[in-house]
Amino acid sequence: MSDAPLGRLRERLGEIADLRAAADLLHWDQEVNMPPKAAAGRGRQLATVAALAHRMFTDAEMGEFLKELQDGAHALAPDDAALVNVTAYDYVRATKLPETFVHTFAEETSKAYEAWVKAREISSFPAFQPHLETLLELLKKKADLLGYEGSPYNALLDEYERGMRIEQLEAIFAELAPKQAALVERLVNATHPPDTTWTRRDWPESRQWDLTVRILSDMGYDFEAGRQDKSVHPFTTSFGLHDVRVTTRFDAKDPFSAVSSSMHEGGHALYDQGFQEQDARTPLAEGASVGIHESQSRMWENMIGRSLPFSKHYRPLLNEFFPDVPPHVSAEDVYRTVNCVKPSLIRVEADECTYNLHVIMRFEIELALIEERMVVAEIPEVWSAKMKEYLGIAVPNDAQGCLQDIHWSLGSMGYFPSYALGNLYAAQIFERILEDIPDLWGRIESGRFYPLLHWLREHVHRHGRRKLATEMIRDITGAEPMCAPYLRYLETKYGELYGV
């Protein structure tokens, strides 16, 4: 086959990728630097760029490129065939959405984000409610435009976890929820919970910043191809292989919150910095799924960042950055502190054992909203009821309740389940890593993270979107995705920690 149609496709995809990178840069600036009065103009800018990119991707010429390439698919090299297949899937999905819808959705999400920030500041869900009602109607329309079998939620879920269906999620959550709830009950009733009193001191933000930058560098994050900033809600964004940025936030009473946040976002960023150069400015330079992306962030944040070898390596550095930490505080004390299990209000600060329960309740609320079994005005009440049901705690206000997450303001319903799937994928992948790198913990204790990063580069990162999530898990582990490795990981780790 001539390279001409393939070359034209790559050229067009590169131009579209540049437009989307420009939109992502506008989003990044909106969350990091933008002055308040710029909000309305930013919404228009984002809508214009989104509409332009959509128009370029869905025009007839793009369809002609793809048809010609698919007709001659037998002559394509494997990497080129993968690019055509992924692009064709995205094209079919995108052509179902009119440009006017894409423009409106981008503008309304920009407005909703600004409303969410303000509503969160004053802890008032009613201040955000009309914007969420608008987005919910748009999301239901989006599901209808895309088409679906079964629940309309499946159409939204497919955007983040291709091929996943609510029936599969419900089966996974039905296995996870009771077992994790039972484990949490055993742990919170343990006779020897971790002593965290040594953390009751001020932790200067500037020193927390320096510590998180050090850890990100040690992980292998390339600061010459990225940067860290502060934002209301931590996130990672990529404008290309050589510009992948992370944000974090700080708590003057808890330095480990920022460490976890930076390691989580660092895991995402390492994935985005690890795609193949040949895939730049194409759909192949993206994660296999959001769940696989979350497996990378959750692995670095929890399986590495909350491990005893990690605590042993960084315990001396605590005094380098925070000289007033008492010398009697051991690495084991730090390890027990960062793994304290206690039901809490905030998802991003939740321990490993309760985290999925936060995700499950959000999934249930989203599903009920999309299926029109509840309305937006009921969210605070339903949220409080589910927090009591799953975690046994009362919600004091909207900011610490239903306004804590950014996702709904971005129109990202269907995203939350990927966090739980990421935990499952991470545990399953990590069992294989320990087989392939039997001395991994010794390397982590000595601060050598490269063997882990190299393994992830080879088995996960470089593949981009060449594989679906289930295919990637199957190729790495020889098994289908399952709950057992994650539940085994929790039972072993926390059973030993708490002596239960």
Residues 92, 176, single domain; the answer is no
Place of tokens 């407005």: 111
Would you place residue 339 in the very low, low, confident or very high pLDDT band (cuts 50, 70, 90)? very high
Q: Which residues contact 448 (CB under 8 A, 6 or more apart)?
A: none
**Residue 489: enclosing H or E segment and its boundaries?**
helix 484-498
Question: Considering its fold, how many domains does the chain have in total?
Answer: 2
DSSP 56-125: HHHSHHHHHHHHHHHHTGGGS-HHHHHHHHHHHHHHHHHTTS-HHHHHHHHHHHHHHHHHHHHHHHHT-H
Active site residue 161: no
Model confidence over 241-257: pLDDT tens digits?
999 999 999 999 999 99
Question: Which residue from 247, 243, 238, 248 is spatially nearest to 222, judged by alpha carbons?
Answer: 243
State the chain's mean pLDDT as an integer. 96
* SS3 call for 26: helix
Q: What is the pLDDT of residues 425-465, one digit of tens each?
A: 999 999 999 999 999 999 999 999 999 999 999 999 999 99
Q: Are 226 and 269 in contact (CB under 8 A)?
A: yes
Two tokens, residue 262: 């930076």
pLDDT in tens, 378-408: 999 999 999 999 999 999 999 999 999 999 9
Q: Are residues 117 and 175 in the same domain?
A: no
156 belongs to a structural domain:
no
Residue 132 in any domain: the answer is no
* Structure-block tokens of residue 127: 């201040």
Residues 452 and 351 in one domain: yes
**Cα distance between residue 356 and residue 362, in whole Å:** 10
**Does 229 share its domain with 117?**
no
* Same domain membership, residue 186 and residue 118: no
Number of Cβ within 10 Å of residue 337's Cβ equals 19
Tokens representing 11? 């050229």
Domain shared by 217 and 109, yes or no: no
For residue 481, tell me if it sits in a domain: yes
Residues 6+ apart with CB under 8 A from 369: 136, 375, 376, 379, 413
CATH number reported for the structural domain that contains residue 170 in this entry: 1.10.1370.30
Looking at per-residue pLDDT, the higher value among 183 and 73 belongs to: 183
Nearest to 397 by CA among 380, 385, 382: 380
Cβ neighbors of 21 (< 8 A, separation 6 or more) are: 238, 239, 240
* Residue where a domain stops, chosen among 107, 123, 139: 123
Q: Is 244 inside any structural domain?
A: yes
Same domain, residue pair 207 and 274: yes
Q: Give the SS3 label for residue 245.
A: strand
The whole-model pTM stands at: 0.96
Closest CA to 233 of 95, 406, 491: 406
pLDDT of residue 77 exceeding 60: yes
Boundary-marking domain end, from 94, 123, 152: 123
159 in any annotated domain:
no
pLDDT per position as a tens digit, 264-323: 999 999 999 999 999 999 999 999 999 999 999 999 999 999 999 999 999 999 999 999
pLDDT at residue number 326: 93
- Candidate list 114, 161, 265, 366, residue with the active-site label: 265
Select from 123, 142, 174 the last residue of a domain.
123
Q: Is residue 226 part of a domain?
A: yes
320 and 465 in a single domain? The answer is yes
> What percent of the chain is predicted at pLDDT more than 70?
99
Please list, residue by residue across 197-217, b when 16 or more beta carbons sit within 10 angstroms of its beta carbon and e when fewer do. eebeeebeeeebbebbbebbe
**In the prediction, which pLDDT does 468 show?**
97
Q: Interhelix angle for 417-436 vs 484-498, to 10°?
A: 80
Residue 254 lies in a domain: yes
**Is the residue at 432 inside a domain?**
yes
> According to the model, what pLDDT value does residue 389 have?
95
Q: What is the pLDDT of residue 4?
A: 85
Do 109 and 192 have their domain in common?
no
Candidate from 148-157, 185-194, 222-231, 276-285 with smallest mean pLDDT: 185-194
Q: How confident is the model at residue 191 (pLDDT cuts 50, 70, 90)?
A: confident
Residue 2 has a pLDDT of 53
CA 51 to chain centroid, in Å, comes to 25
214 and 94, same structural domain?
Answer: no
Mean pLDDT, rounded, for 209-227: 98
CA pair distance 273, 221, nearest whole angstrom: 8
Q: Are 249 and 36 in contact (CB under 8 A)?
A: no
Distance separating alpha carbons of residues 362 and 402, to the nearest angstrom? 9
Q: Do 200 and 272 fall into the same domain? A: yes
The verdict on 310 and 378 lying in the same domain is yes
Range of the domain at 82: 4-123
The bridge status of strand 236-238 relative to strand 244-248 is: antiparallel
Q: Averaged over 85-92, what is the pLDDT? A: 98
pLDDT band at 73; cut points 50, 70, 90 = confident
